[in-house]
């Protein structure tokens, strides 16, 4: 475990917005952890390459343990680094411990680990996240009874799986443009190859031509999707969608939202008409993160 010093925003010159800079000057402890993955051989998955976690601990710790928000990244073939990320610094400064998980399939850990995820999504990535949560909660650093999850895109896919597969662990979730049903996404996304490769495995898509999925392929896509476990979700769910998203179309989040509402699960929908996949217009992003913070405050 490597401990790093406080990370903060600072001003480079005198400005009139001194009070704003003070509000952004968040201090927290960052721990970088490399741990062995769960010893579960999922369809030939890599069980040797360490899985990396980044744990952010809030300042001004009192006698009570902080709640935990787990953040699996999107992609899935990307990674979270120790760089300053304003939205998570904001949540950490408000008393939440943050756990970023670079699960197997993340970039930067070798070809074997990266290629072990396609064909195993919804299992391998979820196993790594749950393993991280169980380890951190048993460390005595966070409140084991107050664990939430936040994810964007494929991170939202993992978050939706977490609340469906492990409802006793995850008490609340927030998602931005989540993938919830790969089968229904194949003909609606601008990257149909993603659906085939991530659900079925490497080499399962011919880039030279598009074809519709077979009945067996659609079943495999549905089987590894969060919508399969929607009827087991009991945690309050917030879903933020960009109406102009072509990568993960809003129909994905709406399908999950209506499924949860129909069964009486507490659910809130945020729809941003002028935003796409990133929801990064200033007013939209600000509204979304304040809403996410309030959602965790209310339900965690």
Q: What's the rounded Cα separation, in Å, for the pair 56 and 134?
A: 16
* Three-state SS letters, 125-181: HHHHHHHHHHHHHCCCCCCCCCEEEEEECHHHHHHHHHHHHCCCCCCEEEEECCCCC
In the residue annotation, 245 being an active-site residue is answered as yes
Q: Nearest to residue 220, comparing CAs of 191, 239, 200?
A: 200
Q: What's the rounded Cα separation, in Å, for the pair 6 and 18?
A: 20
Q: What's the rounded Cα separation, in Å, for the pair 255 and 275?
A: 19
153, 220, 259, 284: the active-site residue: 153
225, 245, 259, 275: the active-site residue: 245
46, 131, 277, 284: the active-site residue: 277
In the residue annotation, 153 being an active-site residue is answered as yes
Q: Nearest to residue 237, comparing CAs of 267, 270, 269, 264?
A: 267
In the residue annotation, 131 being an active-site residue is answered as no
What residues are annotated to the active site? 153, 245, 277
């Amino acid at each position: 475990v490597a401990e790093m010093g406080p990370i903060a925003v600072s001003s480079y010159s005198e400005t009139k917005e001194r009070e704003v800079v003070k509000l952004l000057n968040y201090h927290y402890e960052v721990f970088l952890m490399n741990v062995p993955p769960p010893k579960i051989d999922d369809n030939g998955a890599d069980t040797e390459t360490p899985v990396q976690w980044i744990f952010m601990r809030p300042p001004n710790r009192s006698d009570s343990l902080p709640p935990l928000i787990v953040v699996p990244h999107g992609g899935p073939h990307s990674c979270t680094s120790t760089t300053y990320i304003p939205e998570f610094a904001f949540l950490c400064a408000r008393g939440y411990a943050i756990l970023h998980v670079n699960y197997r399939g993340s970039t930067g850990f070798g070809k074997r680990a990266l290629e072990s995820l396609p064909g195993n999504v919804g299992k391998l990535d979820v196993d790594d996240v749950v393993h991280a949560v169980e380890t951190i909660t048993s460390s005595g650093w966070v409140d084991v009874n107050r664990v939430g999850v936040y994810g964007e895109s494929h991170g939202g896919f993992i978050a939706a799986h977490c609340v469906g597969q492990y409802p006793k662990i995850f008490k609340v979730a927030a998602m931005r443009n989540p993938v919830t049903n790969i089968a229904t996404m194949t003909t609606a996304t601008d990257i149909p190859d993603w659906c085939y490769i991530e659900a079925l495995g490497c080499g399962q898509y011919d880039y030279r031509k598009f074809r519709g999925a077979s009945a067996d392929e659609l079943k495999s896509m549905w089987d590894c999707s969060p919508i399969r476990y929607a009827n087991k979700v009991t945690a309050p769910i917030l879903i933020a969608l960009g109406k102009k998203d072509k990568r993960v179309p809003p129909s994905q989040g709406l399908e999950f939202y209506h499924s949860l509402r129909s069964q009486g699960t507490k659910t809130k929908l945020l729809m941003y008409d002028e935003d796409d996949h990133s929801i990064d217009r200033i007013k939209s992003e600000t509204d979304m993160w304040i809403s996410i913070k309030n959602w965790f405050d209310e339900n965690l």
